[in-house]
Structures are given as structure tokens and as C-alpha cells.
Amino acid sequence: MNSETSRVNKVLVLAAVLCSYHNVAGVQSFAGAAKGRGIGIGIGHHKSNSLGLGLGGGIKNAPFVRDATVGDFGMRMTSLRGGEQDEGGEDVLAGVEGVEVDISGDVGGESEAQTLDQYNEEVVEEYTEKIIAENLKLLGLNDTISDTITTDDDETPTVEVTTTTTTTTTRSVAAAPASATTNGEISSWPCMDSLDKRLIKIALPCIANFAINPLVGAVDLFWINRMGNTLAVAGQAAANQIFSSAFWLTSFLPSVTATLVAKEKAKGDEEGVQDAISQALIVGFFVAVIGSSVVLSRPDSLLSGVLKEGAPAREFARPYLLIRGFAFLPSLFSLIGFSAFRGVMDTVTPLKISLFANLMNAVLDPFLIFNAGMGVTGAALATLGAEVSSAVLFMYLLFKKNLIVAKKLFRMPKLEKLLPLLQGGAALQLRNFALNLTFLAVTRVTQSIDDTGVAAAAHAMAIQTFQIGGIVLLALSTVAQFVVPGEMVEKVDEVTGEKTGGLLAAKAVVNRLMTWGFLLGSALGLLQVALIPTLQKASPVMEVRQAARNPALLASLYQAFNGLVFIGEGVMVGTGSFLQLSLSTVIATFGTIIALKKLPAMYGLTGVWMSFGVFNILRLIGVYIHQNVNGPLAKSKIEEAMKA
């Protein structure tokens, strides 16, 4: 500890002692003066009606505090300029191990309303070590304090304070002392501290939501299969694919919305939260109107992309697609509502709404399909009803929790306020295009491997294996999207003055999330390997089972670094690095397309999954570059920000 730091620490310790005897306002003035913030005056609120006065210059200009008179008796401290003594006072820097404060009972002048003994009795015993420690915490002095208060039989109470310096770090809101290493940094490894407990509490509802959402299509498919008409199944599947492909154009809104809302929430800006959600809903409204208009006006043209002209399945696909066309607006509002609640760290409310909507769909499906005799059209109406109910519930709760207000929904936002949403959305659309191009290329190559359908069936089985762990890892990715931006904002507790959050705290959260991603990915990969024999029983065809074995093993192996990829890309969304994420995905897509031209020709379907490995490895490299080279949480960037 250098001499300059020692001086400031001792001054702050004296300030804490003064506060223990008198008042918080006075000691804050005193501490502010010691740090070079000018003149401070604090009025006490205890029996002595005390007054604290602090005067000071910058640390380099030798801070000083002189003649701070308190109530009926005085506390006189000398200049802190290199050990000078003034007016017979005690040199407060004389000792290295401790500081003595001499409180003399006769400095009050004529008034002796309270004797020193009375003071000791009524005050000194009341303000104990606990109060001193609390005031030191209030000042943000991260030292280990051992202090004793002794009173001589005559007239001088003496306070001895010993300070032991430790490394000072900015603590995360979620960080627990047990998780800190010996140098004060938060451990990257899970240890079930408050950070882990907080992340688990947030993640579990997200995982459940990701598991529930695919059930909408699965429930429809189950009941339509019960009709015993293969053309009905084919028509529903074709129409559902068209709707899903059109809807992915709006998928940027949830990711960007969650990030923007989380940032405003962390700042404590209620207006900012309302603005972010309202802007997303306004943009979503216009996007949904366009999407619905296209689907409702050109259903046959859209179906031509998946069904030939005159295909028998069109009889079932067309009405299903027309009804789903009305679902653009409620579906999009539900997604934005889901993202808004995620942004304010509420993942339980969306889970409850999803459960209700899916149960409603499950109940309506058999009633409308069979009891009402509506067939595939009934399935579409059941799904639409569930989506409308979900949107209504989200909007109701957004209003109820004051996350949106009516006047902001009917007022066009200014362009400068919309820019973060539009810019982030445009960048993420580039990423979505690259992802869809990759999956399209994989599907095309897989279909071309053989004409028997064995490769395609085996590929579907391998995808099913991958999805076991993929749901969990994708859920953790969304957790990173809204936890990280909130943690990046530095906050100060109004009561204790303690600082939480900031870049260092956000980096600690990212490190913990990445470790969780690796551990969970590895564990899920092992689970998938164990489940491969069971999953293969889904196909009675031996050729399909054999063709699926190696791809399923690769899918399991990839989970170890998929955890790093998914969470790392969630961090990129959370930090607002949308363009870098998109460019990383585009590069990975080009690498995959090149691999698809070479590897399947040599290794068949296994080569397709080897190309998937190329795709994810290139994305992992992009994550590494973001976190260690040029992202806002890279070590060099954090150091630059702290210097600035």
C-alpha cells in the first residue's frame, strides 16, 4: 500500500469513527473533502446536535482536515501534510499500524451540559463496533477493520484503528462472498453461490418454455394423424412450414427487445423500459400487418414453394394456411411480451402464459377436429385461439405491471429512438438469413445422398438426438441475452452507497455462464450417447438405424462446444454486438457450404454432420474473438474503459 493510499485510507477510517459518534451526513462531507471534493458540512441528528466540517484539496495536493468541531466538545485533527503538527494536536499520520484520535472534553468552551462520563455512558456504549463497521461499508472502504474503544479513568477516550488492505473489486449483484477467489475475483466455476442460484432461477423457466413451445405443432400433428388421412397430414405440414418460414422474418424483434429492455431496467429508467417495449410493439404491428396481408392475398403462390400445382394435399393446406395467416399479429405480440418480461428478469410469467395457451390448444384440437367435424380447419382455429389468448394475456399483464402505457402505443416514436431496434434488427436479419441458408444447404445435400429416403430418415433421427440437449443450451443462450446487458450497467445502492454491476461484474457473469455451457453441454452429450439405442428404436428399418448411428454420435460430441457457442452468441446479443454476430455467422455459413461440397462425397451422411461441425467450430472462433479481442467485455476493452 503506497503512502498516498495509506493517507486516504486513514482519513476515511477517521471519518467512519466520527460518523459512529455523530452522523452520516457529517462523515460523508468529511470523506468527500479527504478525496479532494471541496467543502462539506453535515448536521448531526443525535443528542449533541453536532456539526461536521471538512475542507480538502486533491490527493496529490496533500488533503487536509482542520478543526472539525463537534457539538459540546471538539475533535481537533492536524494537517495531513507529511506529519506536521499544528496547535499542539496529535499527528494523525504518526503511526503506521494505528491511528489515535484525541477527544478533549474542554474544547467546548463554557458549556459543559454533558460531561465526558455522561457522554461515555450514553453514546460510546451505544455506538459499538457494529456501527463503525457499517459506516466503513457506507464509505465503500473495503478494508478489514479491527478496532477497540477504550476509556481512561480520567477524561480521554481513545479510538485505535488498524486497517488491512485487500484487493478492491466491483461486486456483481449476484456475486456471493463464497465464490470469490483469494484476490477478490469471482470464480468462473459453478459453486452454487448466489450467482449460480440466480442464474438457475432465471434459466429453469426459460428451459421449460423452450420445451413447451414445440408442443403447439406437435399437438396439432398428433390429432390430425388421428384423422387417418395422410393427405391431411401432408397439407398441414406444408402450410405450417410456409407460415414458419414467413414468420422467421420477424424473429429479430424478441432478441433486440430483450436486450434493450434489460439495459433500461438496469438503469432504473421506467420510461426507458416503456419506450423499448412500446417501440417493439409498434414495429411488430406493421410487420405483422404486412406478413398477414401477403399470406392472405397469395396463399396459392406461397404453397407452390412446397406443393406442386394440383397436388391433392392442397385441399387441406390452403384453408389451414389462410387461418394461420391471421396469427401473425397475436404471435408477434406474444413473442415481444415474452421478451419484455425476460428483459425485466421475470421468466416465470411467460412460462405460465405458455402453459395456459398450450393447454387451451390441446383441449380445442380434438373438440374442433372431431366433435365439430372441422378437420384440419379446426386444428388451425384451435392454434389461432391459443395464440390470441396468449397475446391478450401478455398485453394485459404488460399494462398491469406498468411496463407499457396506452399513450405510447398510439404515438409514433422518433427515428433516433427507433434506431437501436432497427439497426439491431437489420444485423440479426443477416444472421437469420445465413442460418436458414445453412440449414437449406444441409437439407438439399442430405436429400441428394440417395433416392431411397434412408439418408433423410437417418438425418431426422440425428436431429432428434441433437434436440435433447439443444433445447437446454438454447435456453441458456437467451438467459445471457438479458442478464449480461443488465449486469453491464453500474448501479449504486442509495442506502449503503455500495456499487454493483459494471463491466467487471458482467465479465464475471459471462465467465460463469460459459463454464455452465461447457459443463452442461458435455453432460448432455454423454446423456445423448446413452440414449442413442433407445432413440434408434423409433425406426423399424435397420438401414436407417445404421445410417443414423455415426451422425447421432457426432451430434452428441458437438454438444460440448455447442454450449460455448450458444451462450457466447447470447452474450454477443446481450452486449449489442449484433453486426459482429451476423458476420461471424455468415463466415461460418460459407465454411459449411464449402465443407458440404467435399465431405458428403467422401463420407455420406456422416460427412454432412462433419460439415455441421465446421459450422459450429467457426462460430466458436467468432465467440472467442468477441470475448477476448474486440468485444466490450474483452480484457483490453475493459481496461480502456476503466482508464477513460
Q: Can you give the pLDDT at residue 454?
A: 78
- Sheet bearing 143-151, strands edge to edge: 68-70, 73-75, 99-104, 157-165, 143-151
3-state SS string over 263-331?
Answer: HHHHHCCHHHHHHHHHHHHHHHHHHHHHHHHHHHHCHHHHHCCCCCCCCCCHHHHHHHHHHHHCCHHHH
3-state secondary structure at position 150 = strand
Give the global pTM. 0.62
Place of cell 486533491: 58
Using CA atoms, how far apart are residues 472 and 211, in angstroms rounded to an integer? Answer: 8
Q: Which of 324, 345, 318, 317 is nearest to 258 (CA)?
A: 345
C-beta separation of 631 from 637 below 8 A: yes
Number of CB atoms found within 10 A of residue 219's CB? 22
Q: Can you give the pLDDT at residue 254?
A: 80
Per-residue pLDDT tens for 44-54?
333 333 333 33
Using CA atoms, how far apart are residues 180 and 345, in angstroms rounded to an integer? Answer: 24
Q: Can you give the pLDDT at residue 224?
A: 84
Residue ranges of the chain with per-residue pLDDT less than 50: 1-117, 119-121, 123-125, 127-128, 139-184
User: Chain centroid to CA 500: how far?
Assistant: 15
Backbone dihedral angles phi then psi of residue 145, each to the nearest 5 degrees: -110, 130
Using CA atoms, how far apart are residues 383 and 215, in angstroms rounded to an integer? Answer: 11
Number of CB atoms found within 10 A of residue 46's CB? 14
Q: Is the dihedral of CA 324, 327, 332, 338 positive or negative?
A: negative
Q: Can you give the pLDDT at residue 245?
A: 74
Q: Can you give the pLDDT at residue 309?
A: 84
C-beta separation of 586 from 430 below 8 A: yes
3-state secondary structure at position 538 = coil
C-alpha angle 559-562-568 in degrees, rounded to nearest 5: 155
Using CA atoms, how far apart are residues 371 and 579, in angstroms rounded to an integer? Answer: 51
